[in-house]
Amino acid sequence: MPQLILLNKPYGVICQFSDHPLHPTLKSCVSQAGVYPAGRLDTDSEGLLLLTGDGELQHRISDPRWKQPKTYWVQVEGRPDEDKLAALRAGVDLGDFVTQPAEVRVLPEPPALWERKPPVRFRKTVPDTWLEIIISEGKNRQVRRMTAKVGLPTLRLVRVAIGPWRLDDLQPGMQRSIEVSLADLPRPRHAKPAGPAPARKDPKPQAVPKAAPTPAPAPRFRFAKKK
Q: 156: helix, coil or strand?
A: strand
Sorted by where each begins, the domain ranges of the chain are: 1-67+163-193, 69-162
- Of the candidates 134, 163, 153, 159, which has an alpha carbon nearest to the alpha carbon of residue 63? 163
Q: Which residues contact 198 (CB under 8 A, 6 or more apart)?
A: none
Of the pLDDT bands very low, low, confident and very high (cuts 50, 70, 90), residue 188 is low
- Is 19 catalytic? The answer is no
Rounded Cα distance, 16 and 39, in Å: 11
Q: What is the pLDDT of residues 88-122, one digit of tens each?
A: 999 999 999 999 999 999 999 999 999 998 999 88
Rounded Cα distance, 223 and 89, in Å: 14
Main-chain dihedrals φ then ψ at residue 191, nearest 5 degrees: -65, 135
pTM (2 d.p.)? 0.80
The residue annotated as part of the active site, out of 19, 42, 128, 169, is: 42
The answer to whether 1-67+163-193 and 69-162 have equal CATH topology is yes
Of the pLDDT bands very low, low, confident and very high (cuts 50, 70, 90), residue 64 is confident
Task: Kindly state which CATH superfamily the domain 69-162 is placed in.
Answer: Alpha-L RNA-binding motif (3.30.70.1560)
Rounded Cα distance, 196 and 185, in Å: 23
Of the options 3.40.50.1970, 3.30.9.10, 3.30.70.580, 3.40.50.10490, the CATH number for the domain spanning 1-67+163-193: 3.30.70.580
Average pLDDT over residues 70-80: 96
- The least confident of 5-9, 19-23, 194-198 is 194-198
Q: What is the pLDDT of residues 150-175, one digit of tens each?
A: 999 999 999 999 999 999 999 999 99
Rounded Cα distance, 160 and 79, in Å: 22
Residue 186: per-residue pLDDT: 67
